[in-house]
Amino acid sequence: MTGTQLRPTVGTDTEFQPRLSLRRKVGAVFGVLTVVAMAIGLLTLGTLIVDVVRDGWSVLSWDFIRNFPSRRPSEAGIRSALIGTVYVMVLVAVIAFPLGVSAAVYLEEFAPKNRLTSFIELNISNLAAVPSIVYGLLGLGIFVRALTLGPSVIAGALTLSLLILPIIIIASREALRAVPPSIREAGYALGASRWQTVRMFVLPVAMPGILTGTILALSRAIGETAPLITIGALTYIAFTPKSLLDPFTVLPIQIYNWVSRPQPAFHQLAAGGIIILLAVLLSFNALAIVLRARLQRQIRD
């Protein structure tokens, strides 16, 4: 039969096989599958938190936060690691955010689209997949030795910044690309320069997405241990860094140190350290989320 004559279906439907009940069932099955997937994620997180809190709750106290690490578990605290983590993370945010966003703005808004830029783009994606210990070796070679910064706070922050730079760049580019071209054209048509258009019209609209990417990137950096051990961050430290060039340690290293001890008391300390690490991570994220929500509200009303 040639398909030139289209008529409304009259009576029994032989040309189509709607299989409505099957389609409904397939939909229901996939609905259940997605719920299961989410449940697995939530259960894992829940188990982790319950387990850690059960082990570590007893060691949580002001003394635990105030004290330096010690050979005696009852006196040991995480002061140097906590301060080290806060120092390093603030520095990482200050270094990696502007660099990453600027690189993304260049690639997305200014760079000509040619072979060189697509080569650069490809390599940024590759960099995001490089194991973190390789960044540790890079940091050791460049920051610690060549620039003679030593195993210092700034060397650690620079190393972690390099590590998360590709993630921030990729997320920022996605956010910039999602800004409708009509916004850019509206800017250009009013006689705004390219930079004015980007700064006043494009970046504000893209900022919530950029911040989401930055949150994810910082969350990755805060948990990194390997690259910092590689550049020589200390595992035992009984003072807080006074300057950017002082040696330091961070929470994951302290936790790793405690976990590897044989005595059970230290394992409790490790669990307490994990709770503190999660708390620090969540406060960083909360800050970024509040910032993002405020920006979104600004854009919407």
Partner 1 sequence: MTAPTTERRHIVVPPGSVALRLENLSVWYGAHQAVRDISMVIPERSITAIIGPSGCGKSTLLRALNRLHDTTPGARVAGHVWRNGIDLYAPTTDPVWVRRHIGMIFQRPNPFPKSIFDNVAFGLRVNGYRGNVAEQVEQALRAAALWDEVKDKLHANALALSGGQQQRLCIARALAVKPEILLMDEPCSALDPVATMRIEDLMRELAKSYTIVIVTHNMQQASRVSDYTAFMLAGEDRIGELIEYAPTREIFIRPRDRRTEDYITGRIG
CB of 51 to partner 1, least distance (A): 45
Span 12-51, contacts to partner 1 by CB under 8 A: none
By beta-carbon proximity to partner 1, the closer residue of 176 and 251 is 176
- Does position 294 interact with partner 1 (CB under 8 A)? The reply is no
Q: Which range of residues in 24-32, 181-189, 215-223, 241-249 is near partner 1 by CB under 8 A?
A: 181-189
Q: CA-CA distance, 95 to 79, in Å (whole number)?
A: 24
Q: How far apart are CA 24 and CA 152, in angstroms?
A: 60
87-102: buried (b, 16+ CB within 10 Å) or exposed (e) per residue?
A: bbbebbbebbbeebbe
Query: Contact region for partner 1 (CB under 8 A) — 26-34, 163-171, 186-194, 233-241?
Result: 186-194
Q: How many residues does the chain have?
A: 301
Nearest distance in Å: CB 187, partner 1: 8
Contact call for residue 191 and partner 1 (CB under 8 A): yes
| Residue from the set 142, 188, 235, 285 that interacts with partner 1 by CB under 8 A | 188
Closest separation in Å from C-beta 279 to partner 1? 35
* Of 183 and 226, CB closest to partner 1: 183
Nearer to partner 1, 43 or 178 (CB): 178
Among 190, 238, 279, 282, binds partner 1 (CB under 8 A): 190
> What tokens were used for 11?
């009576």
Choose, by CB under 8 A, the member of 182, 242, 243, 262 that binds partner 1: 182
- Residues 197-256 close enough to bind partner 1 by CB under 8 A: 200-201, 205
Shortest gap between Cβ of 210 and partner 1 (angstroms)?
Answer: 16
Among 148, 193, 260, 283, binds partner 1 (CB under 8 A): 193
Q: Which is nearer to partner 1, 120 or 200 (CB)?
A: 200
User: Should residue 292 be labelled a site residue for partner 1 when binding is judged by CB under 8 A?
Assistant: no
Regarding 11 and contact with partner 1 (CB under 8 A), the answer is no
SS (HEC) of the chain: CCCCCCCCCCCCCCCCCCCHHHHHHHHHHHHHHHHHHHHHHHHHHHHHHHHHHHHHHHHCCHHHHHCCCCCCHHHCCCHHHHHHHHHHHHHHHHHHHHHHHHHHHHHHHHCCCCHHHHHHHHHHHHHHCCCHHHHHHHHHHHHHHHCCCCCEHHHHHHHHHHHHHHHHHHHHHHHHHCCCHHHHHHHHHCCCCHHHHHHHHHHHHHHHHHHHHHHHHHHHHHCCCHHHHHHCCCCCCCCCCCCCCCECCCHHHHHHHHHCCCCHHHHHHHHHHHHHHHHHHHHHHHHHHHHHHHHHHHHHC
- By CB under 8 A, name the one of 33, 185, 263, 293 that touches partner 1: 185
Q: How far is the CB of 201 from partner 1 (least distance, A)?
A: 6
Least distance from C-beta 113 to partner 1, angstroms? 5
Which chain residues interact with partner 1 by CB under 8 A?
112-113, 180, 182-194, 196, 200-201, 205, 299-301
